[in-house]
């Protein structure tokens, strides 16, 4: 979640900006791991990008637990 820079929370941290690849995932929850493996082991090595030492983000837009479906953005920091 986004918070004001001086909100005073105990477990609040600043995530550095920069370049990210974003993959929109729209599918069954059970398939997320397989998609991530494909991104990291096939697409990323062939893309010319390199993953950086920053935090990645998973941005969940919709979760339907009854039907095991999710729409989310997988955001991976790259250079």
Higher pLDDT, 54 or 14: 54
Q: Are the C-beta atoms of 68 and 28 separated by less than 8 Å?
A: yes
pLDDT at 3 over 90: no
Confidence of residue 55 (pLDDT cuts 50, 70, 90): confident
Residue listed under structure tokens 């974003």: 22
Query: Residues of the chain with pLDDT > 70: what percent?
Result: 99
Across 9-32, average pLDDT = 89
Backbone angles phi, psi at 36, to 5 degrees: -60, -40
Confidence of residue 6 (pLDDT cuts 50, 70, 90): confident
């Amino acid at each position: 979640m986004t918070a004001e820079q001086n909100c005073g929370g105990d477990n609040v941290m600043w995530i550095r900006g920069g370049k990210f690849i974003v993959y929109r995932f729209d599918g069954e929850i059970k398939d997320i791991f397989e998609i991530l493996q494909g991104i990291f082991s096939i697409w990323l090595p062939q893309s010319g990008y390199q993953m950086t030492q920053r935090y990645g983000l998973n941005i969940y837009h919709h979760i339907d637990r009854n039907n095991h479906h999710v729409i989310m953005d997988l955001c991976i920091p790259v250079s």
